[in-house]
Amino acid sequence: MLNFASNPHRVPPAKAVPPATAEWINELSVERYRPMLRLLDDSDLEFLCRQPGFDRSMAGRLRRQRCHIFRGYLKSLSDDFRKMCVTLRVLMVNSAIDRPDLASALACKQWEFRVCMLRARWRLLLYRWGSGCVEIASLIKLFESLCGELQGLIPQPGVSPSL
Protein backbone atom coordinates (compact mmCIF):
# COMPACT_ATOMS: atom_id res chain seq x y z
CA MET A 1 0.00 0.00 0.00
CA LEU A 2 1.32 3.43 -0.93
CA ASN A 3 1.71 6.03 1.76
CA PHE A 4 1.31 9.47 0.19
CA ALA A 5 2.08 11.24 3.47
CA SER A 6 5.63 9.83 3.55
CA ASN A 7 6.48 11.26 0.13
CA PRO A 8 5.25 14.82 -0.40
CA HIS A 9 6.14 14.65 -4.11
CA ARG A 10 3.82 11.75 -4.80
CA VAL A 11 0.36 12.80 -5.96
CA PRO A 12 -2.60 10.75 -4.72
CA PRO A 13 -4.78 9.21 -7.43
CA ALA A 14 -7.62 11.36 -8.77
CA LYS A 15 -11.08 10.76 -7.41
CA ALA A 16 -12.70 7.93 -9.28
CA VAL A 17 -15.73 9.01 -11.26
CA PRO A 18 -18.46 6.38 -11.35
CA PRO A 19 -19.46 5.43 -14.88
CA ALA A 20 -22.30 7.36 -16.44
CA THR A 21 -25.32 5.38 -17.47
CA ALA A 22 -27.83 6.29 -20.18
CA GLU A 23 -30.42 6.66 -17.43
CA TRP A 24 -28.19 9.09 -15.50
CA ILE A 25 -27.58 11.13 -18.67
CA ASN A 26 -31.28 11.26 -19.51
CA GLU A 27 -32.13 12.39 -15.96
CA LEU A 28 -29.47 15.12 -15.96
CA SER A 29 -31.13 18.46 -15.60
CA VAL A 30 -30.09 21.92 -14.56
CA GLU A 31 -33.39 22.10 -12.64
CA ARG A 32 -31.85 20.26 -9.69
CA TYR A 33 -29.47 23.19 -9.22
CA ARG A 34 -31.91 26.07 -9.73
CA PRO A 35 -32.61 26.37 -5.95
CA MET A 36 -29.01 27.58 -5.61
CA LEU A 37 -29.99 30.78 -7.37
CA ARG A 38 -32.27 31.74 -4.46
CA LEU A 39 -30.77 29.89 -1.51
CA LEU A 40 -28.53 32.76 -0.40
CA ASP A 41 -30.98 35.52 -1.25
CA ASP A 42 -30.93 38.19 1.47
CA SER A 43 -34.69 38.73 1.35
CA ASP A 44 -35.19 35.88 3.84
CA LEU A 45 -32.68 37.45 6.22
CA GLU A 46 -34.31 40.85 5.84
CA PHE A 47 -37.68 39.31 6.67
CA LEU A 48 -36.19 37.58 9.71
CA CYS A 49 -34.67 40.85 10.94
CA ARG A 50 -38.10 42.51 10.96
CA GLN A 51 -39.69 39.83 13.14
CA PRO A 52 -40.31 40.35 16.88
CA GLY A 53 -37.83 38.49 19.03
CA PHE A 54 -35.12 38.58 16.37
CA ASP A 55 -31.52 38.54 17.56
CA ARG A 56 -28.32 38.57 15.53
CA SER A 57 -27.50 34.98 16.44
CA MET A 58 -30.53 33.86 14.39
CA ALA A 59 -29.15 35.53 11.29
CA GLY A 60 -25.74 33.93 11.87
CA ARG A 61 -27.30 30.51 12.34
CA LEU A 62 -29.39 30.91 9.15
CA ARG A 63 -26.31 31.98 7.17
CA ARG A 64 -24.33 29.00 8.50
CA GLN A 65 -27.10 26.54 7.63
CA ARG A 66 -27.62 27.95 4.17
CA CYS A 67 -23.89 27.97 3.45
CA HIS A 68 -23.70 24.32 4.47
CA ILE A 69 -26.56 23.44 2.10
CA PHE A 70 -25.02 25.58 -0.66
CA ARG A 71 -21.67 23.79 -0.29
CA GLY A 72 -23.52 20.48 -0.75
CA TYR A 73 -25.06 21.80 -3.95
CA LEU A 74 -21.62 23.01 -5.15
CA LYS A 75 -20.11 19.58 -4.50
CA SER A 76 -22.92 17.82 -6.34
CA LEU A 77 -22.70 20.29 -9.23
CA SER A 78 -18.95 19.77 -9.44
CA ASP A 79 -19.29 15.97 -9.30
CA ASP A 80 -21.93 15.97 -12.04
CA PHE A 81 -19.88 18.34 -14.19
CA ARG A 82 -16.77 16.15 -13.79
CA LYS A 83 -18.80 13.04 -14.65
CA MET A 84 -20.16 14.72 -17.78
CA CYS A 85 -16.63 15.70 -18.85
CA VAL A 86 -15.34 12.15 -18.37
CA THR A 87 -18.31 10.77 -20.30
CA LEU A 88 -17.76 13.22 -23.16
CA ARG A 89 -14.07 12.26 -23.33
CA VAL A 90 -14.98 8.56 -23.45
CA LEU A 91 -17.50 9.24 -26.23
CA MET A 92 -14.90 11.22 -28.19
CA VAL A 93 -12.23 8.53 -27.84
CA ASN A 94 -14.63 5.80 -28.93
CA SER A 95 -16.12 7.80 -31.79
CA ALA A 96 -15.37 7.05 -35.41
CA ILE A 97 -15.54 10.80 -36.12
CA ASP A 98 -12.76 13.12 -34.98
CA ARG A 99 -14.15 16.18 -33.16
CA PRO A 100 -11.29 18.56 -32.27
CA ASP A 101 -13.85 21.36 -31.92
CA LEU A 102 -15.62 19.43 -29.16
CA ALA A 103 -12.34 18.60 -27.42
CA SER A 104 -11.32 22.25 -27.48
CA ALA A 105 -14.74 23.43 -26.27
CA LEU A 106 -14.66 20.87 -23.47
CA ALA A 107 -11.23 22.03 -22.30
CA CYS A 108 -12.39 25.66 -22.31
CA LYS A 109 -15.56 24.83 -20.38
CA GLN A 110 -13.61 22.85 -17.80
CA TRP A 111 -11.23 25.76 -17.24
CA GLU A 112 -14.08 28.26 -17.01
CA PHE A 113 -15.96 25.97 -14.62
CA ARG A 114 -12.93 25.71 -12.31
CA VAL A 115 -12.51 29.48 -12.24
CA CYS A 116 -16.24 30.04 -11.58
CA MET A 117 -16.23 27.37 -8.87
CA LEU A 118 -13.23 28.94 -7.15
CA ARG A 119 -14.91 32.34 -7.31
CA ALA A 120 -18.18 30.91 -5.91
CA ARG A 121 -16.38 29.24 -3.00
CA TRP A 122 -14.53 32.46 -2.17
CA ARG A 123 -17.73 34.51 -2.35
CA LEU A 124 -19.50 31.91 -0.19
CA LEU A 125 -16.86 32.38 2.48
CA LEU A 126 -17.40 36.14 2.36
CA TYR A 127 -21.19 35.69 2.40
CA ARG A 128 -20.91 33.46 5.45
CA TRP A 129 -19.34 36.34 7.35
CA GLY A 130 -21.97 38.83 6.16
CA SER A 131 -20.25 40.39 3.18
CA GLY A 132 -21.45 40.25 -0.41
CA CYS A 133 -23.38 37.69 -2.37
CA VAL A 134 -22.60 34.57 -4.37
CA GLU A 135 -23.17 34.71 -8.12
CA ILE A 136 -23.56 31.24 -9.59
CA ALA A 137 -25.55 31.92 -12.75
CA SER A 138 -22.36 31.38 -14.80
CA LEU A 139 -21.83 27.94 -13.19
CA ILE A 140 -25.43 26.98 -13.89
CA LYS A 141 -25.08 28.17 -17.50
CA LEU A 142 -21.88 26.14 -18.03
CA PHE A 143 -23.52 23.07 -16.52
CA GLU A 144 -26.58 23.49 -18.72
CA SER A 145 -24.43 23.95 -21.83
CA LEU A 146 -22.35 20.82 -21.17
CA CYS A 147 -25.47 18.86 -20.25
CA GLY A 148 -27.07 19.78 -23.57
CA GLU A 149 -23.90 18.84 -25.43
CA LEU A 150 -23.77 15.44 -23.74
CA GLN A 151 -27.45 14.68 -24.20
CA GLY A 152 -27.15 15.64 -27.87
CA LEU A 153 -24.43 13.04 -28.37
CA ILE A 154 -26.28 10.13 -26.79
CA PRO A 155 -28.00 8.07 -29.45
CA GLN A 156 -31.76 7.91 -29.12
CA PRO A 157 -33.60 4.80 -30.35
CA GLY A 158 -34.04 5.06 -34.13
CA VAL A 159 -31.83 8.16 -34.44
CA SER A 160 -28.20 8.14 -35.58
CA PRO A 161 -25.72 9.78 -33.16
CA SER A 162 -24.21 13.16 -34.01
CA LEU A 163 -20.68 12.31 -32.84
Confidence of residue 143 (pLDDT cuts 50, 70, 90): very high
Q: Could you give the angle at the alpha carbon of 123 between the alpha carbons of 121 and 127, nearest 5°?
A: 115
What is the tally of structural domains in the chain?
A: 1
Whether 31 maps to a domain, the answer reads no
The pTM of this model reads 0.77
Whether 98 maps to a domain, the answer reads yes
Whether 69 maps to a domain, the answer reads yes
Average pLDDT of the residues in 67-87: 94
Helix, strand, coil shares, percent, the chain, to 5: 65, 0, 35
Domain span at residue 128 reads: 36-153
Note the pLDDT of residue 28: 82
Q: How many CB atoms lie within 10 A of CB 143?
A: 24
Whether 7 maps to a domain, the answer reads no
Whether 78 maps to a domain, the answer reads yes
Average pLDDT of the residues in 14-32: 73
- Give residue 146's Cα distance to chain centre: 11
Whether 47 maps to a domain, the answer reads yes
Whether 18 maps to a domain, the answer reads no
